[in-house]
Amino acid sequence: MRAASVSDFREMARRRLPHIFFEYIDGGSYAEVTLRRNVADLEEIALRQLVMRDMTKLDMTVETLGQTLNMPVGLAPVGMAGMYAHRGETQASRAAAAAGVPFCLSTVGVCSIEEVAATGTPPWFQLYMLKDRGYMRELLGRAKAAGSPVLVFTVDLPLPGARYRDSRSGFTGSTPLRAALTQLRDGITHPAWTWDLFVHGRPHTLGSVAGAVTESRRVTDFLAWIARNFDRSVTWKDLDWVREVWDGPIVVKGVLDPADARDAVKAGAQGLVVSNHGGRQLDGVLSSITALPRIVDAVGDDLEVYMDGGVRSGLDVLKALALGAKACFVGRPWAWALGAGGEKQVARMLEILRAELAVAMVLTGCTSVRDAGRSLLDRP
């Protein structure tokens, strides 16, 4: 099957991946209301079609935080991508670099910051505020030494949301025996994935935090360590501590309210990501695209505003730009593509987004993404 859209990658990943890993990528929290809103609210926005313009030249480049992006898209941090394809984060990083867009490495990635940086393009690095400040300081030092240009500081996960699909699939809450039986069954029923992951993809640890977890080597034990170390006491003042260790740009990820956006400006952040964690945390909150315009209006040009959540096409990217986003970060689309077939499919997914964005620009009369504004939208 040759994928023609992001939804095709989802189906290809569903077929190839073990059930527990597909559900981990695909699912949200609780009843998944916000997960559905992220997609549905973007679908409801109408672009304004304009014709008979000279659209010979299109400019998709964006300047942000000292970097030039070939298009206003980045790969958002996705946990455990190295379980979807062998050394998954490195494969995705290479595809992003070839497309000229940023790749953001999750704290809970299978590949370490050093391994991903060794591909030739250091990733943006995503980090949670952890109780263990000593280890957090070490992680920031490693990211800096690896050449990471941007720190993405996720603030909407003081504790993990309740994700029913993970519980039902046995990904979380399983006894060691059940986990072993599930792994055996998955290996037998998904031979291509097993060959890829267990012959070429080891070690299966969370590379950036492996040194902090000594009691076990299973991926689920690393996730449990991370969950125990989320710091619920964190406030905006803690960004001062981060700034003592990190002297590069800081992007705050997980903002949905204008008041929080203004606090991010006061705290000295250089950017923020309007995000509800892909519908994986507090269910029932606003979709990212609905929250975006108010946040843009609240902060103006004081920092860079990005968005993630629900982006499934290049048309969605243009809609977000029209409402004030500097760029969109996609998570599930690249995770599905990676699960469908590794680096080649991630590259294909980015090609599809670029082609769809080009069509949207031509048929709305938008020659440069930097000029995208609300005039591109057709409102009742």
Return the active site residues. 277
Virtual torsion, Cα 260, 265, 268, 270, nearest 10 deg: 100
Contacts of 202 (CB under 8 A, 6+ apart): none
> Which of these, 92, 89, 86, lies nearest to 108 by C-alpha position?
89
DSSP symbol at 374? G
Apex CA 161: angle with CA 157 and CA 163, to 5°? 140
Q: Could you tell me the two tokens for 343?
A: 């680096």
Residue 68 Cα to chain centre, angstroms: 19
Amino acid at 223: L
CB distance 44 to 74 below 8 Å: no
**DSSP letter string over 62-128?**
EEETTEEESSSEEE---TTGGGTSTTHHHHHHHHHHHHT--BEE-TT-SS-HHHHHTTSSPPEEEEE
CB distance 290 to 44 below 8 Å: no
Assign 299 to helix, strand or coil: helix
CA separation for the pair 162, 311 (Å, rounded): 23
Written in H, E and C, the secondary structure of 194-254 is HHHHHHHCCCCCCCCCHHHCCCCCCHHHHHHHHHHHECCCCCCCHHHHHHHHCCCCEEEEE
Residue 13 Cα to chain centre, angstroms: 17
CA separation for the pair 300, 320 (Å, rounded): 15
